[in-house]
Homo-oligomer: A and B are copies of this chain.
């Protein structure tokens, strides 16, 4: 219940340092590289809604357009026509608030020594502050609070030996999670940290232009063929001579972010080699298997994020599915507060339960996760108001008890209700008759992956990369 998956949930403002929720899309070798990138970002919009940008190059001239807001609002035919060239890199970002939001829009672009570097990053560095302090001590000035700027500064300080050598020397200094797209005037680069926390894949258009994307749903939209994932610890360099794969010296065991599977990625994407829709449906099935005792009249997913586990749960349990909460598709950005003389209609503006379906019935809500519990609590309340008799909830992952340092925005234990409370107390707070979480083993089994493939730190506290000592002090803003 953190970040809109495919857009459904309210966009939450969260405290804490810079977050790196992002989507990346790049094209090499197509006359309409920027326009393809526009469509690619469209498909990745769920990975970041606060800012977006596209940088393009024809080999000489570099053009860029970035701004705050949604891809569909930021770009029009005119801005896209100005983004000429066969090479383009795009980025969508969910950033935190700050005094200089626009300058934090990515890709981050600099000119140095006559060359242009544009970088888009998805993930979060755990040693960003140390790197930043070290760069400043050497006389560098950093303009933003973004990890991507830090990476570019590391890079330009190693450019004497050429781009690949610079990447080989600078990227191992960046600890934590980073899937990144880099563009110069004539080259497109895709790289992924040795653990492979965040997804990144490679596609091709009719055997010609190369495409890089955070998720395969973006390949689908531009009708590119999926080729393979960019491997953890791999640097893929694409230029006029072809595609070249390089390996970082440092190699690590894979630690994919399981929350991408549970919630964050789009259900029509394949990530880490598996289809998300099917993973979620299997999680729903597993939930039904682990909770055979649960008896109810209907299975109720909250649209759209609960739909897929909901389907699996209903099919396996035999408790019939009802889409008994209707979503208003016209919810805008401005939120008008009710007056004192009025009740709070906040939830119902977006989601309205169908009374005649729910009244007097025993309901099982299928939910993907409970983070702070507040959203679930309000939703359950509206079901009570229309007369649901019993309300149970099954959650398609274990309780979230540990913060994430790799780019998912539940950064402190204090925000995680399950880190503070027993399951019984969570159920009581949310207003449920019963609450059941999927087991850790059940979840991993449902994915269909071999076991030690995932980072499960938010569930079990086992961090593949420990954060810097001064990690919590990070944050230059204000």
Point out residues on A near B: beta carbons under 8 Å.
4, 6-8, 30-32, 35-36, 38-39, 42-43, 45-46, 49, 61, 63-64, 70-73, 75-77, 80, 99, 103, 110-113, 136-143, 152-153, 156-157, 217, 220-223, 266-268, 270, 275, 277-278, 303-304, 307-308, 311, 315, 320-324, 326-334, 336-339, 341-343, 345, 348-349, 352-357, 476, 478
Q: Residue A328 contacts which of B42, B324, B336, B478 (CB distance < 8 angstroms)?
A: B42
- Cα A6 to Cα B152 in complex, Å, equals 44
- Asked whether A6 lies within 8 Å of B326 as measured between CB atoms, the reply is yes
Whether the Cβ atoms of A337 and B77 lie closer than 8 Å is: yes
A327 vs B332: C-alpha distance when bound (angstroms):
18
- Nearest opposing residue in chain B for A352, CB measure: B268
When distances are taken between beta carbons in the complex, the residues of chain B under 8 Å from A137 are 113
Residues of B within 8 A of A152 (CB): 141
In contact, B61 and A275 (Cβ under 8 angstroms) = no
Least CB separation from A331: chain B residue? B72
Are B322 and A7 in contact (CB-based, < 8 A)?
no
**Beta-carbon contact of B275 and A345 below 8 Å:** no
Known contacts A7-B329, A46-B330, A139-B157; decide if A356 and B221 are in contact (CB<8 Å).
no
Q: Which of B35, B267, B336 contacts A38 (CB 8 A)?
A: B336
B-chain residues with CB within 8 Å of residue A357 when the two chains form the complex: 275, 277-278
B32 touches A111 (CB 8 A): no
How many copies of this chain are found per oligomer? 4
Whether A111 and B142, one on each chain, are in contact in the complex, defined by CB atoms closer than 8 angstroms, is yes
In the bound assembly, the distance between CA atoms of A7 and B352 in angstroms comes to 14
A57 to B337, CA, bound (A): 21
Residue in B7, B342, B356 whose CB lies within 8 Å of A270: B356
B327 and A6 contacting across the interface, CB-CB below 8 Å: yes
| Interface residue from B46, B138, B266, B277 paired with A139 (Cβ < 8 Å) | B138
Contacts of A71 in B (CB 8 A): 330, 332
CB neighbours (8 Å) of A303 from chain B are: 304
A156 partner, pick from B113, B141, B304, B478, beta carbons under 8 A:
B141
Q: Which residues of B contact A307 (CB under 8 A)?
A: 323
A329 to B267, CA, bound (A): 13
A348 near B220: Cβ-Cβ < 8 Å: yes
Could you list 14 examples of A-B contacts with CB < 8 Å?
A6-B327, A31-B341, A32-B338, A71-B330, A73-B334, A112-B136, A113-B137, A141-B141, A141-B156, A221-B352, A266-B326, A268-B326, A311-B323, A321-B321
A224 CB, min distance to chain B CBs, angstroms: 10
Query: How far apart sit A326 and B138, CA to CA, in the bound complex (Å)?
Result: 50
A76-B334, A223-B343 provided; 7 other pairs, C-beta below 8 A? Answer: A4-B329, A6-B326, A42-B349, A110-B142, A221-B348, A270-B356, A277-B324
Contact A277 B354 (CB under 8 A): yes
A64 engages B99 (CB within 8 Å): yes
A349 near B45 (CB under 8 angstroms)? no
CB-CB < 8 A to A157: which residues of B?
A: 139
Chain B residues within 8 Å of A332, by CB: 70-73
A144 to chain B, nearest CB (A): 10
By a CB distance below 8 angstroms, the chain B residues around A70 are 330, 332
Contact indicator B139/A217 (Cβ below 8 Å):
no
Residues of B within 8 A of A42 (CB): 328, 330, 349
Chain B residues contacting A63 (CB-CB under 8 Å) are 99
CB atoms of B352 and A478 under 8 A apart: no
Given the known A-B contacts A32-B339, A139-B140, A315-B320, are A330 and B99 also in contact in the complex, defined by CB atoms under 8 Å? no
Question: Which residues in B have their C-beta under 8 angstroms from that of A311?
Answer: 321-323
A331 and B354 CA atoms in complex are apart in Å by: 26
